Amino acid sequence: MSARYRTAGFKGYAVKFSPFSEQLLAAATSANFGLVGNGQLSVLSTQPGPNGLRPLKQFDSQDGLFDLSWSEVHENQLITASGDGSIKLWDITLNNFPVSKWHEHTREVMSVEWNYTAKSSFVSSSWDGSAKVWDPHVPHSLRTFSEHTGCVYSSSWSPRQSDQFATCGEDKLVKLWSVNEPRGKSLATFGGHMDQVLSLDWNKYAPEQFVTSSVDRTIKIWDIRNPRGQVAMFGPFEFSVRRVKFSPFSPNYIATAGYDMSASVWDVRTGAVVFVHDAHREFVFGVDWSLFHPGTMATCSWDEQVHLFKTPVIK
* Mean pLDDT of the region 295-300: 97
pLDDT at 228: 79
Segment 247-276 shows an average pLDDT of: 96
Closest CA to 7 of 30, 23, 24, 25: 30
pLDDT of 178-227, one tens digit each? 999 999 999 999 999 999 999 999 999 999 999 999 999 999 999 999 88
- Contact 15/298 with Cβ under 8 angstroms? yes
Q: pLDDT at position 35, please?
A: 74
pLDDT averaged over every residue in the chain: 95
CB-CB contact of 306 with 15 (8 Å): yes
- Predicted model pTM: 0.96
- The residues near 93 (Cβ < 8 Å, ≥ 6 apart) are 76
Question: Tell me: the pLDDT tens digits for 68-116?
Answer: 999 999 999 999 999 999 999 999 999 989 999 999 999 999 999 999 9
pLDDT at 96: 86
Total residue length of the chain: 315
Looking at residues 117-146, what average pLDDT do you find? Answer: 97
Helix and strand numbers, DSSP H then E, in the chain: 0, 28
152-157 and 24-30 strand pairing: unpaired
Percent of the chain with pLDDT over 70: 99
Mean local confidence (pLDDT), 108-125: 97
On whether the CB atoms of residues 269 and 253 are closer than 8 A, the answer is no
Q: What are phi and psi of 34, to 5 degrees?
A: 80, 0
Query: For 143-184, how does the pLDDT look when each residue is reduced to its tens digit (9 = 90+)?
Result: 999 999 999 999 999 999 999 999 999 999 999 999 999 999
Q: Tell me, what's the pLDDT at 313? A: 78
Query: What per-residue string of b and e applies to 162-173 under the rule 16 or more CB within 10 Å gives b?
Result: bbbbbbbbbbbb
User: What is the pLDDT averaged over residues 50-74?
Assistant: 95
Contact present, 280 and 305 (Cβ < 8 Å): yes
DSSP 8-state code for residue 251: T
pLDDT band, very low/low/confident/very high, at 315 (cuts 50, 70, 90): low
Q: Any alpha helices (H) in 142-267, and if so which ranges?
A: none
- What letter would DSSP give residue 291? S
**The Cα angle at residue 26 between residues 20 and 30, in degrees rounded to 5:** 155
Q: Give residue 1's pLDDT.
A: 63
Averaged pLDDT for residues 34-38: 80
DSSP label at residue 33: G
